[in-house]
A and B are shown apart, each in its own frame.
Chain A
């Protein structure tokens, strides 16, 4: 008798063969392994999202989750600490820049706060950072006044970069600082400081610098003496004047005006008394000679 169940044919059926070949096609593999699961996931998600209530619920949950993370104590900023500024300046800054604390560090816009701090004249630079002690630490570098500037509107303190820091009520409040005057004088504060440094020997007599025609400087000394400096290389001209003073006591004499604007020719104007005196001397001399 033949066996009831014949031995299975080891060869694949035509269908199995074709299916295997189809499975080995790269496109089909990608379709089945990525495309089908993706589609199976996308369909219920899409059906859920189509409903507006569901969308709102999802958005609300997302917002809740976000708030929950943002309001964790690790991310909260409790207080503001201002360093590197005088007590008065610091208090004024803290009052002026109203930072609403406590706030989450996600909500603090440090860049905007920095521009707010740096908008004050007295602040040269502000560095903000959120420390691990849940503090907003602001490191302020104040502008240091270097000059007093007398303008049409009054007296100002000016830093070496020419930036006006604060208004000054009277010159005597900061008598230690040198004085400059004239329109646009503050814009050339650096040059003015160089001139002050060069005029060291004249310090006792120096009253201040005047910016003339927004172009050049005049050095004002006591006894209404004035040294007119050229627009170009004023420091060298001043040094020459000081050298002349040392050699011949030029400025100690009755000179009203020392004009150095032309570098090759210094001009000296005498005071009215000196001119009269000189005229008298000449007349006497000529009388003697006649």
Chain B
């Protein structure tokens, strides 16, 4: 645990160094596409108001100066699957973004959507001495949280204090400076597979870049897609990516649960490919141009040319009706949503005061998804798009870029995590000095 603490602190230091230089890149390693945004932190207020970009709750301290996307290679289920291929893809996207920004970046903040995240809720309590609650007390109560046995080969990705309680007063967001007898806190701990994180770190190192932070994709896409009220009152964000679907639950502006379903838009494409006997690119084209989830009578009569260039005349001139296509896509989407529903149920989402569900991610653009999702997940479903940030190109404002945009928000204003507080120093020296003084008092 201590070396992880040190590693995370090292990443925080790296992030500070990047802030001092003013340029940092965010890298969204997805299964379908890899996106890279280069941010410049100017610190000042926006010089001119851009239409549609509000004050963004103080998130406007940065500007996107470079953006690039490339087809993902070597990433499956949000995990690095072929290191060389992934490295090439990262090089491609970083080079393109640098070319657009005309600036060299050395620090990268990455996110990962796979790696089987697991959430734990921890609590801890300490007795307070005299005086107000100080930062040391908070570090102490965070260290006093009892760590669950999350097993070997797992690593902590996020450890965020969610709630503080001082004696009987709960729901304190910041107990510093207040008086009380006992300080307790709830902490949300997210663990992921160590190997996956190490692969990601290694892949970024091989591109001569320094990792200045790492975040869960489900968390950051919720940061960009949930509006402030939803984060405050309670909402779930479903980030439907290509290879994995992330689920995160927010309340009181803190993530309290995060999970990932290893199914996504690629599986829908593969179903079409298998069902219609077409290659994957053709299946992808059919899905994006003609796909849908709610069939009507008209769809029976809408005939889609499948196309192809195999040379076999009959094979290349097959047609399929749109209803058939919907019939292939819908069961898979329902399966994904059922899986998500199972995760939400396991997390106790039905007990939340507000049960808003926001669908985002590239796969959420399938027409009719909100209807299907409403039937499976509940009535309060909406399709979310990421917040608009300054300088973001029009092409990168769609829901597929929710996690990239969220990652830039995360880079600008990371939430306090456990490692942001100093580890409580050994109080042994002070105590032994006090003991020596007492010994003197008693004997002289």
Contacts and interface: CB of A to CB of B under 8 A. Distances in A.
Interface of A: 9-12, 14, 16-18, 20-21, 24-25
Interface stretch (B95-103, B165-173, B349-357): B95-103
B91 A17 contact: yes
A30 to B, nearest CB: 14
B9 interface: no
Contacts of B98: 20-21, 24
A18 B208 contact: yes
A24 B104 CA distance: 5
Given A11-B88, A14-B91, A20 B208 contact: no
A208 B207 CA distance: 107
Interface in B41-98: 70, 88-89, 91-92, 94-95, 98
B412 to A, nearest CB: 23
Contacts of A11: 88-89, 91-92
Contacts of B103: 24
B91 A12 contact: yes
Nearest to A11: B88
Nearest to B73: A11
A18 B103 CA distance: 13
Contacts of B94: 17
A3 to B, nearest CB: 14
A11 B88 CA distance: 6
A14 B103 CA distance: 18
A9 B99 CA distance: 18
Q: How large is the interface on B (under 10, 10 to 19, 20 to 34, 35 or more residues)?
A: 10 to 19
A17 B104 contact: no
23 contacts: A9-B88, A10-B70, A11-B88, A11-B89, A11-B92, A12-B91, A12-B92, A12-B95, A14-B91, A16-B95, A17-B91, A17-B94, A17-B208, A18-B208, A20-B95, A20-B98, A20-B99, A21-B98, A21-B104, A21-B208, A24-B103, A24-B104, A25-B104
Given A11-B91, A16-B95, A21-B208, 6 more contacts: A9-B88, A12-B95, A14-B91, A18-B208, A20-B95, A24-B103
Contact of B95 (A9, A17, A25): A17
A17 B207 contact: yes
Contacts of A25: 104
A290 to B, nearest CB: 121
A16 B99 CA distance: 13
A11 B89 CA distance: 6
A141 B112 CA distance: 94
A16 B94 CA distance: 12
Contacts of A20: 95, 98-99
A267 B104 CA distance: 104
Nearest to B101: A24
Nearest to B103: A24
Given A17-B207, A18-B208, A24 B91 contact: no
A78 to B, nearest CB: 62
Nearest to A16: B95
Contact of B102 (A16, A18, A21, A24): A24
B35 to A, nearest CB: 15
Contacts of B70: 10
Interface in B172-207: 207
Contacts of B92: 10-12
Contacts of B208: 17-18, 21
B34 to A, nearest CB: 11
A4 B91 CA distance: 26
Contacts of A10: 70, 92
